[in-house]
A and B are shown apart, each in its own frame.
Chain A
């Protein structure tokens, strides 16, 4: 896991994007970009250069679950690690995200420790299966 990796933070609430950006910075990840919706995020991802996607679920234009599915269906993006950070917590939703290929799922409200733990886990797993 490279601390310089480029991370896209997607959430329709600017305050949440700010929180995640700050937490990532505390963990040493300073190379971050933001999008306010799945719809604005997808073109950014397609333009390339991102190593990690952190996204909310509930967004007005394109929901996070649909962004995830679009990423997994895209030839250049299908291996992109995706972490969902969301208030959605129903069993069926978590199952759907898992089946759609999400790498990690954090429910809000969450702690800085949880964010670190899940990110570490995601990249640990990627490195062992690589």
Chain B
């Protein structure tokens, strides 16, 4: 309502009151009140809408709160589990290898020795007692070979079984991917609700450690294997 109308109402009210016309005065008062009320309602309407929007983003926040409180610590635990499992598998495998390698080495050495002895025999460079000795060594060797073959077989099976980590870690990692996707969509919703625009991507120093590169073939400045590295170093004079 414009100020002119207000003045009219005000003077009208004054007149009516002075003239003792209570009915008219009340009527004008009611009109003034109505104007104030509609303004008030407009303001309340605005505030309500703001409150509603804030509440909606708070609801999204509480999704995020849930994610922060449960899913993310859970995801961290899961990833630590992956590290533990893979370390365990690697060590189990290396244990088996460290046990088998010496056995394999022993077999190789003794077989080589017997080969030489046999060649000597074939060239008739061996006397009877040496031949008998070779016979005994052969028996020993074959006995030892039987025992060692069993151990090697067991060891190889242990190595096979140690690979069971992959199935478990695979499942766990899939679950973590789900968590990451949840976080991603909650964050996207929050960003949309609050109208925050993405900050420019942080500039990573060219030589900052990044761990193993995925998709090396498609990245221009990433070496794809030892040969690429060697080529680069040669070109630098190494």
Contact = CB atoms under 8 A, between A and B. Distances in A.
Interface of A: 13-15, 18-19, 22, 57-58, 63, 65, 87-96, 98, 105-108, 110, 114
B223 to A, nearest CB: 4
Contacts of A93: 206-207
Given A94-B229, A114-B226, A22 B98 contact: yes
Contacts of B216: 89
A98 to B, nearest CB: 5
A96 B207 contact: yes
Interface of B: 86-87, 90-91, 94, 97-98, 206-207, 209-213, 216, 221-226, 228-229, 232-233, 236, 238
Given A98-B233, A107-B223, A88 B209 contact: yes
List 9 A-B pairs, minimum CB-CB distance, nearest first. A58-B209, A92-B206, A87-B212, A15-B90, A89-B223, A91-B221, A96-B207, A93-B207, A92-B207
Contacts, number: 71
Given A14-B87, A15-B91, A22-B98, A94 B209 contact: no
Nearest to B232: A94
A105 B207 contact: no
A84 B222 CA distance: 17
A56 to B, nearest CB: 10
B207 A107 contact: no
Most buried by B among A87, A105, A106, A107: A107
B234 to A, nearest CB: 11
Given A92-B221, A98-B233, 4 more contacts: A14-B87, A22-B98, A63-B209, A91-B232
B222 A90 contact: yes
Given A90-B213, A98-B238, A65 B91 contact: no
A91 B87 contact: no
A15 B213 contact: no
Given A89-B223, A110-B226, A94 B233 contact: yes
B229 to A, nearest CB: 5
A89 B91 contact: no
Contacts of B207: 65, 90, 92-93, 96
Contact of B222 (A58, A89, A105): A89
Which of B209, B212, B223, B233 gathers the greatest number of chain A CB atoms within 10 Å? B209
A14 B226 CA distance: 23
A107 B226 contact: yes
Contacts of A114: 226
Contacts of B233: 94, 98, 105
17 contacts: A15-B86, A15-B87, A18-B90, A18-B94, A22-B98, A65-B207, A87-B213, A88-B210, A89-B216, A90-B206, A90-B221, A91-B232, A92-B207, A93-B207, A98-B236, A98-B238, A105-B233
